[in-house]
Every structure is written in C-alpha cells, then in structure tokens.
Amino acid sequence: MRIGLFVTCLVDSIRPGIGFAAIELLEAAGCEVVVPEQQTCCGQPGYNSGDSKMARALALKFLAEFESFDYIVLPSGSCAGMIRVHYPELFKDDPEQLTRFIALGTRTFELTDFLHRIAKPEKMPGTFKGRLTYHDSCSGLRELDVYEQPRALLAGMPGVTLNEMVESTTCCGFGGTFSVKYGELSTRMADNKCRHIVDTHAGTIAGGDLGCLLNIEGRLRRNGDHATRVLHIAEILAGKDM
Amino acid sequence: MNARERILARIASRKPDSDALGHHLATHPRGPQPPVPCDLKKHFAERARKLSSDVVEADQLSHAPGLIADYLQQKMLPMQGVCWPALADLPWLEAGLNIEARPARDRDLVGITGAFCAIAETGTLLLLGGELTPASTSLLPETHVAIVHPHRIVATMEDAWELLRREFGTPPRTVNFISGPSRTADIEQTVTLGAHGPYRVLVVLVQSAI
Amino acid sequence: MQNRSADFKRQVTIKLADTRLQQALSRLQSRFVEGRTAVISEIHDLQETRDAAAMIRDRALDNLDHWLLHFEAQATRRGAVVHWAETAEDVNRIVAGIAELHGVKTATKSKSMVSEECGLNEALEHAGVKVVETDLGEYILQQAHEAPSHIVAPVVHKNKEEISDLFEKIHQLPRKTGIAELCREAREILRPAFLSADMGISGANFLIAETGSALIVTNEGNGRLVTTLPRVHVAITGIEKVVPTLEDVATLLRLLPRSATGQSITNYVSLLTGTKGEGDPEGPEHFHIVLLDNGRSSLLGGPMQEMLRCIRCGACMNHCPVYQNIGGHAYGWVYPGPMGSILTPLLGGMENAPDLPNASTLCGACSVVCPVKIPLPDLLRNLREKQLVLGMKPRQETALLGIWAWLALHPRLYALATGFIVRFMKLLGGREGLLHKLPGASGWSDGRDFPAPQGRTFRELYRQRKHP
Ligand code: SF4
C-alpha cells in the first residue's frame, strides 16, 4: 500500500514529532509512506472563515499532490474531515472535479481510523505505561465517526489504562480562529475541558488533533498545571512520548 | 397586491407537481413507526403509568364507579364531580359518588370522561371535543378519570388518525392527546405535576361494555 | 422584540461572569442532554425517522404555496379566518384589529415564540387589551419584564429563589419556597384570568394542510385552556409551519418532545380545527389564524432553505457548548443557540448580528441532534461567506488569512516563512517552552499560554532525514 501522508500545517510547524510518529506507525503496519514535500495547508482556516475560493485553490493543490496514492492519511480528524466531507461540497457544482474529489475522499483517512480499519497492524510499535484520558475532537468524531478507533488501538497496548473523562465528546473550545476572536468564551470552554481532564487523575491527556491539544495544554499551563502531559495519540502509539 | 398575494408570489413553488402532491394528500403515507408489542392493553398501561397516570382494570362498565370511588377515597379526594352525559347512567350513587352529567366548571374537582381511543405507543388518551364530550371535563378539575375500552386501544398515532378518519371523516373542533397529568418543568427544570390542568389522571380500563 | 445581537461580545463577558446564571445553565446537561439521550433510543430507527422528518419538512417547503393554500381552504371551510402577515407590525395590527372587532378587553396567551418575534404583548397593551401570559415560564418573565432565554424553557436562567422573591412581591402572598408551591400559587392566580378572558392567543407548532388544523404541543394545559374557554382564539405562527398530512405530523411528534424536553410525548397535543360546532358547550366562536412571513420567504429556494425545516425543539441549543456557557440572552433576540445564530441574521439583518455566525466552533454537536437534520454548521459557514462578500469581516482577519493562503499556495515561500516563524517562536518560548503573550492574538493569550514550536519544521527535519 502506498500511503500519502499529509502531516498538516500545525504538525509541520509546531510538533513535527507527531509527523514522524505517524510515519513510524504506518511503516510498522507494513505501508510504504510517502510525504509529498510541497504540501502545506488543507485550507480549513479560510474555509471556516467563509472563503470558499481560497479553500478551492488549496483543495486543487491537494488533489494534484495526493490523487495518485492508494490511501491518504492525516494525523488530524479535522483536516481529514475537510478533505473527505468538505472538499466535495466545495466542488458540488463542478461534476468533473466532484467525481475526483469524492474518489479522493473515500481514500482519505484519519490516522487512527486508518490503522484500526484498514492497515490493522498486529501491535503498536510503542509502549506506554500508565493512565491516560482521551479527548474526542469534534470533526473526527462527528464527521468521520472516529470514536472507537483510538480506544481500540490503545486497548491493544499492554500497560495503558484509559480513564474516561466526563463529556469527552464536548468541544474543547478551539475552533480555529474562534479561539482568538472569542478568546474569553473559548477559554471558558477549555477550562471546562481541563477540569474534566484533571478530575480523571490520569496525568496524561491524549487526542487526535493538535489544534485541540494546543488549546488544552495552553489552558492547563496558564492555570499552573505543568504536570499533566498533553500528547497526540500518534506519539503514544509510537512510543514517542518523550 | 395585498399581503397574501405578495407572500404567495414570493413562495411560489419552483417545480410544482400537483399530481404528486395530490397523491401525497390522498394516500397520506405513514413514516417509520415503532414496533408495538401485540398486547396493546398491557403496553398501553405500562406507558401510561410511565407518564404518571394511574391505571386500574374493571371487568365491566358498571364496576367502574366502585373502582373510581376507591381511588378517590384512597387519595382522600372529594367524592363528587362531573361526567360526560354518556356516562350519566352508571351506578354512581351506589358507589357513594355524587356525579353530575354536565361540562366542568372552575370549582369541580373530579371530571370523568370516556375516550375516543387510546394509543399504546405512548400511553396516550385521545379525546374529541363535542356537544356530548366537553373538553373542559378533562381539563379544569384537579382529577381526571377516563374510562377506556381496551378494544379502542390502537398501536400507534397513525392508527389513531386512521380510526378518526374512518369514523369521523374530518376531525371535530378539538382532538386532544392526553398523556398523564398536566405538568411543568419551567422552574429549575424540575418536573412538577399539576400545572394548569389535572394533578392526576386515572385510567379505568373496562373489559366489557355492560 | 428589539434586536440587541450586535452587543453579543459584551454580553458574553457579562454572562460568563454571572455565577447565578452559570449555575442555572449547568442544569441543561442533566435535564435536557441526558433527558434526550434517555428517550430518543425509544425510537426504533432514529436515523430513518430523522430522514423521514427532514423529508416531510422539505416536501412542505418545496411547495409551500400549495400547502398553505390548501390549508387556507380547509381552515376557511371550517369557519376559521386565515390572515397573512408580511411583517411583525402586520401581525400586531391584525391581532389588534381582531381584538377590536370582537370587543376584546382581556386576553390569555400560551407560549408563542412568533409573538415574541413581533412584540405582540406591548402592541396589544397599547391597543387597550390586557394580555396575560399563562405558560408558567412566560408568566414569570412577563412579571419580571424579561425576555425568554430559551425557546422551550424560557426561564432556564432563573433559579427558584429569584422566582420566590418575584412572586412574593407581585402576588403579595406569604413567600413560597418549594417549586410545587410556587406552581400551585401561579395556577390559582391565573385560573380566574383563564375563565374571564375574551380572547385566547396561542402559537401553533404545526399547521395541517389536509384538515386545516392548528396543532399545539403543551405540557401545562394552559394551551388547552386558552384555546377552549375564550370566545375568540387567535393562533399565530410562521408560514413555514405547515405540513401536508396527519401522518406527517405523527412522525414529527415522535421527535419533537423527545428532542426538546426528553419526553416521549408532551402531556397535551391539541389538534384544533375550525370554530365551535352547533350545540358545543364550549370552544371559540371565532378562530383566527395569523401566518407570519417576516423574512422567511426569502430563504426559500436558496442555500438557507434547510433552516426553515426547524421545528423549534431547542435541542441544538441544549447541546451547544457556546449556549451552555452563556445562555440565551447574550444572543440578543428571540432565538438563541445555533438556530438563533442563523435565524437572527437572516430575519433581522446580518448587519445587526455580525458576531452570531462566527461565535461557533462548528463543533457539530447541534446538527447530530437536530431532529430534522438541519446542517447547522454548514449554514453558519455559509453566513460567514456572505459576510465576506458583504465586506463585514474584520480587515485584519481577512488580510492574515489571505497571506496564509497565498503562502500555502507557494510552498517554497511557505517553507521559508514557517521555518523563520517557528525558530522565532521557539526563542520566545524560552526554557519553559511556553509563549505567554501572542501579539495580535491576545484573545488566545489572555487566557492561555501557547506551547512553543519544536523549532524546526517537519519538512526540514524530514528532508534532513532523507538526505543526511
Ligand atoms: S434547528 Fe433543529 S435542533 Fe435546533 S431547534 Fe430547530 S429543529 Fe430543533
């Protein structure tokens, strides 16, 4: 299987380690991983701000770079959702492109979804000892039905105890530009999330979207919590939890 | 143009297919319905109790007053009230009840009605308003008693509409679904029984009509 | 009702700091969210039923003129009078006219969000009609001179102590503290009003074209009293509320109360058709039905038509993390939460509600619970697109996103720029690895640190690894 890995703009800039963890996971599952080097951003920020034109331009760029792969995998539910759900919407009036985008979408997967449902590796390369709690990011959950997948993968790792938090599926308040434009509201939502995380006494919070994780970590740290570890699911599965 | 014409012009259908619309009206197709267990009486009673109605069973209609009297006594409620004209001839006095056959007024505390039918799906009573079946009887008093014949229990809401069409053609002025005592949860979202209508509903299921 | 949506941002700050409100809002989760979850599973095939419900609403909306005309003909045949109102003012004028025609001095009213939309109470008071709200929640608000903060639970923002205080003051009776006692007191105060009113005013959850009926869904019984006792009944609703048949309404009724309050069915569902019959001991002699447009027709046939499917269950706001944190008043008009963030700019003008389409993370919690499957996040996004076209977006935001997109389309420059930024930010993050201030993004950094980047971009490291 030839996989095109799109690391996402946030991972590229802020936590490259997640990208390498994803490569390791995919390779351990027997995939050939290619990272097209011209990749940048999927266009979601502009799209969610109402700029479809901009989003269409980036969608076409994405299509050109990734159309040739058997599968396209992203360590982010929201970017995978952008490609699978929203790219086709952007081209709904252009039948020719639409067919291509639908075909692209059906081959595009969020990382844990891909590992669990398609690649099905026997075991995870990493080890993790201890408790953690999991935040379900909105797009992955509601656009791609990613809920069981990370839990199933974690269940396959001996030594991991999952302490579920209450309202794990409630939005953390990130929402891209929302987090800056409605900072106060966003912070309150993050606060609620952090409270639920701390209440689990897990010590580690994992998730599948770096945006949410930055939001959660940012609030935890501002609240003086420097102990709770905030990790991407790929880092845990690959044993790159530092 | 007046307001009506202007609104109608604005909402004019883009692709009217009056045959299809007429067909929909004529056939009034049903949507998905929940499976309802075939013991309608049992299911109805279960659902009705879930909605805080009380349910008792009588072998025959003439036993209903006795059961109603027991219920009122047990709850320490007044032994008098009003009923629909069709129920005027029941042996109320023998059961120790003072029941007048007239529409309810503000001060009446017990209202006794029949029902057009009942719906097992939700434990709902269906009452039609009319000359002999005033709606106020099930509304103004603090206690509403409904006498229902189990053969008038249908499975779903759609079945109830069907029965209504068959027996009445078009609906009378009021058709009321009643599902338990009136309630409100407006204050702190805490359910409180007895808002503006009855505080309690007793359903008497009567096996035989005599 | 006056539109104060432009004040949204300031209101958010106020509401977030209001501890009493925060406490009241915490009940949403336990009562409404968990309540819905408990009963929605009773529906055998939920997705199929939601699909059917959406289709029923679409069928009505696609041929709205047809169904409304059919409705009008049937209702008229049964003695009702159907009025068409283009604006809120039209409704007020029509209802005041009806009151005058029938010599109405007092009116009792059951809950109607459309009448809130119109500010009908003030208009009637102005015309010399005394209006008494009879839904417990609406009654409390009328006494407190406040607006509803939720379309189903209008006083969700108040606790019982506030209501005790209010009742003690206005009723001049010994203070009640229990919820049941408060309800009983309101019942006893309102009974005479029901019995003596000349006119009853209600909304209508649905209009049924087949029979010309108005269907009203209530729990308290006030809706029945208001539509049974007075000699005149006026039902006010939006033109979009029509559905073709009784079977169609059955499907919607399976979803509405379950989605709204977590009830399998509301206590009362009243189907009202025409005026009182010959020999009927009760019922109104005059039945008027007022159909309001107020901008709804402009959504038909366009990308926002799906919004008109709405059956006003309130599930979207109950599940919305934004609503859950600020309550309904912050939204500034009649309809709060996700559906309000769409309806308010559409019916009241985008310029009067610039924040509402943006004040959402598009988390999608609303659309997965919406019984008629309105894609609320998509519609919000669509409104953002409109704002962009209208030039309503903040200049700084469009500029930044423009630069970002341009860079993203030019990978080489993108690599240069991001390579520089991550190094700079790493430096700023210091040993702690945290940025405490983000110039130009204080919305983030006022409440959160920003975890510093690792300092090299993935693409740099990846290339290095491939070509060491
Ligand atoms: S938008 Fe959907 S969920 Fe919200 S009130 Fe309307 S019908 Fe209910």
Is residue C282 domain-shared with residue C407, that is, in the same domain? no
Asked if the structure places residue C343 within a domain, the reply is no
Say which CATH number the domain at C103 has. 3.40.50.10420
**pLDDT per residue as tens digits for the range C439-449:** 889 999 999 99
CATH 3.40.50.360 assigned to B37-206: no
- pLDDT above 90 covers a percentage of chain B that reads 93
Q: What global pTM score does this model have? A: 0.96
**Local confidence band at C175 (pLDDT 50, 70, 90 cut-offs):** very high
Q: How many CB atoms lie within 10 A of CB A176?
A: 17
Which residue range is the domain that position C147 belongs to? 61-297
Chain-wide mean pLDDT for chain C? 96
In chain C, the number of structural domains is 2
**pLDDT per residue as tens digits for the range C409-467:** 999 999 999 999 999 999 999 999 999 999 889 999 999 999 999 999 999 999 999 88
C75 CB under 6 A from ligand 1? no
Helix ranges, A16-137 (H): 16-28, 44-48, 52-66, 77-81, 87-90, 95-106, 111-114
- Separation between Cα atoms, residue A73 and residue A69, nearest integer Å: 10
Mean pLDDT across C2-31: 94
User: What residues of chain A, 115 to 144, have a C-beta less than 8 Å from chain C?
Assistant: 138-139, 142-143
Q: Is the pLDDT of residue C356 over 70?
A: yes
**Local confidence band at C104 (pLDDT 50, 70, 90 cut-offs):** very high
Mean pLDDT across B12-37: 90
Mean pLDDT across C94-111: 97
- Separation between Cα atoms, residue C214 and residue C377, nearest integer Å: 31
Q: Is the pLDDT of residue C10 over 90?
A: yes
- Separation between Cα atoms, residue A219 and residue A221, nearest integer Å: 5
- How much is the pLDDT for C44? 86
Q: What DSSP line would sit under C252-263, residue for residue?
A: HHHHHHHHHHS-
Residue where one domain finishes, among candidates C273, C297, C321: C297
- How much is the pLDDT for A242? 57
Mean pLDDT across B128-142: 94
**Local confidence band at B140 (pLDDT 50, 70, 90 cut-offs):** very high
**Secondary structure element (H or E) that encloses residue C271, with its range:** strand C268-272
Backbone φ and ψ for C371, nearest 5 degrees, come out as -65, -25
- How much is the pLDDT for C1? 81
Question: Residue C151 CA: which ligand 1 atom is closest?
Answer: 5
Question: Residue C313 CA: which ligand 1 atom is closest?
Answer: 8
Residue where one domain finishes, among candidates C276, C297, C318: C297
Cα–Cα distance list, C15 to C8, C25, C341, C377, C392 (Å): 10, 11, 17, 23, 25
Taking one residue from A and the other from C, the number of pairs with CB-CB distance under 8 angstroms is 193
Cα–Cα distance list, C383 to A122, C302, C345, C390, C393 (Å): 46, 12, 8, 10, 11
Of residues B160, B145, B129, the one with CA closest to residue B40 = B160
Backbone φ and ψ for C205, nearest 5 degrees, come out as -70, -35
Q: ipTM score here?
A: 0.97
Nearest chain B residue to C110 by CA: give it: B196
**Local confidence band at C468 (pLDDT 50, 70, 90 cut-offs):** confident
- How much is the pLDDT for C371? 98
B93 touches chain C (CB under 8 A): no
- Separation between Cα atoms, residue B164 and residue B117, nearest integer Å: 9
Retrieve residue C76's tokens. Answer: 């008229």
- Separation between Cα atoms, residue A43 and residue C401, nearest integer Å: 10
User: What residues of chain C, 198 to 237, have a C-beta less than 8 Å from chain B?
Assistant: 209-211, 213, 219-222, 224-225, 227-229
Residue where one domain finishes, among candidates C297, C312, C335: C297
- How much is the pLDDT for C277? 83
Instruction: Pick out chain A residues at pLDDT < 50.
Output: none
Mean pLDDT across C153-173: 95
**Local confidence band at B10 (pLDDT 50, 70, 90 cut-offs):** very high
C311 CB under 6 A from ligand 1? yes
CA diameter of chain C: 98
**pLDDT per residue as tens digits for the range B162-210:** 999 999 999 999 999 999 999 999 999 999 999 999 999 999 999 876 5
CA angle C286, C292, C296 (to 5 degrees): 160
- How much is the pLDDT for B210? 55
- How much is the pLDDT for C28? 85
What secondary structure letter does DSSP report for C380? Answer: H
Asked if the structure places residue C307 within a domain, the reply is no
Decide if A173 contacts A180 (C-beta within 8 A): no
Q: Is the pLDDT of residue C189 over 70?
A: yes
Q: What is the residue with the minimal CA distance to atom 4 of ligand 1?
A: C316
Task: Give bridge partners of residue B58 from the DSSP assignment.
Answer: B206
Do chain B and chain A touch with ≥3 beta carbon pairs under 8 Å?
no
- pLDDT above 90 covers a percentage of chain A that reads 97
Locus of tokens 């039209």? C90
Q: What DSSP line would sit under A14-41, residue for residue?
A: T-HHHHHHHHHHHHHTT-EEE--TT---
- How much is the pLDDT for B15? 73
Mean pLDDT across B41-51: 97
